[in-house]
């Protein structure tokens, strides 16, 4: 049974952050996922340009049953099919493709979050059935100010900013109207990964969640 639109929106509102893992070392990616889960993060995305993403998703689904594990950087139908077969519970794309959205929503019954850049793309995705869109790359678009501008006329469309989210600016995105944020490199400092310092990443994840839950 897939995740319904309503339950997906509830997950996003509850957790407010998705940990995005992009790594060319499967074992390190596995440890990265466990580290953020230990810090309290329940929504974890494995990008499809990571090493062996399908195997990693299957493994994480088995080892982190309390987490919701999805796929990211899905570019075509074959990748979406592989991700679903591996157990992905949601899927993100850096772009909007109506065929991908319809297949995920109607056939596989999983949330599919297309990437958008402009209000036109945002409304087009929404009119094709997207309940949530990824605004990407938010860093290049003006950060939280851009979210505020979008939410004024289009607050019926839930948005997840991505591409430039940090532990320090994530709360400003939520305050501007985002339902959640997708955070990648800033959550995983290169030095910590090089030293296999997973506890510091767990602390970083907890710090992020604490900030997001602050009124």
Residue 171 is among the residues annotated as catalytic for this protein = no
Q: Which residue has the tokens 């679903």?
A: 84
Give the pairing of strands 68-72 and 43-47: parallel
Q: What distance in Å separates the CA atoms of residue 80 and residue 74, rounded to the nearest whole number?
A: 6
- Using an 8 Å Cβ cutoff, are 144 and 176 in contact? yes
Select from 188, 211, 199 the least CA-distant residue to 50. 188
Residue 109 is among the residues annotated as catalytic for this protein = no
Q: Specify the DSSP class assigned to residue 185.
A: G
Residue 176: what are its φ and ψ, rounded to 5°? -80, -10
- Using an 8 Å Cβ cutoff, are 213 and 50 in contact? no
Q: Is 51 helix (H, G, I), strand (E, B) or coil?
A: coil
Q: Which residue has the tokens 């510091």?
A: 200
Residues found in the chain: 215
Cα→Cα distances 211→44, 166, 171, 204, Å:
18, 11, 6, 11
User: Looking at 13, 16, 45, 63, which residue is catalytic?
Assistant: 45
User: Looking at 13, 63, 121, 134, which residue is catalytic?
Assistant: 134
Kindly list the catalytic residues: 45, 134
């Amino acid at each position: 049974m897939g995740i319904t639109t309503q339950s997906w929106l509830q997950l996003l509102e509850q957790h407010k952050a998705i940990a995005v893992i992009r790594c060319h070392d499967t074992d390190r990616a596995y440890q990265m996922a466990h580290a953020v889960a230990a810090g309290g993060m329940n929504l974890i995305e494995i990008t499809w340009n990571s090493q062996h993403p399908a195997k990693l998703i299957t493994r994480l689904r088995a080892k982190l049953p309390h987490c919701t594990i999805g796929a990211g950087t899905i570019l075509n139908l074959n990748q979406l099919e592989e991700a679903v077969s591996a157990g992905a519970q949601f899927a993100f794309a850096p772009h909007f493709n109506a065929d991908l959205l319809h297949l995920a929503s109607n056939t596989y019954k999983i949330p599919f979050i297309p990437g958008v850049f402009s209000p036109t793309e945002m409304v087009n995705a929404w009119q094709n059935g997207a309940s949530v869109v990824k605004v990407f790359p938010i860093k290049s678009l003006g950060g939280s100010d851009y979210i505020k501008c979008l939410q004024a006329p289009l607050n019926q469309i839930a948005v997840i900013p991505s591409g430039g989210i940090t532990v320090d600016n994530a709360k400003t995105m939520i305050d501007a109207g985002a339902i959640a944020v997708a955070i990648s490199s800033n959550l995983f400092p290169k030095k910590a990964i090089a030293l296999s310092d997973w506890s510091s990443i767990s602390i970083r994840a907890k710090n992020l969640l604490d900030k997001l839950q602050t009124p």
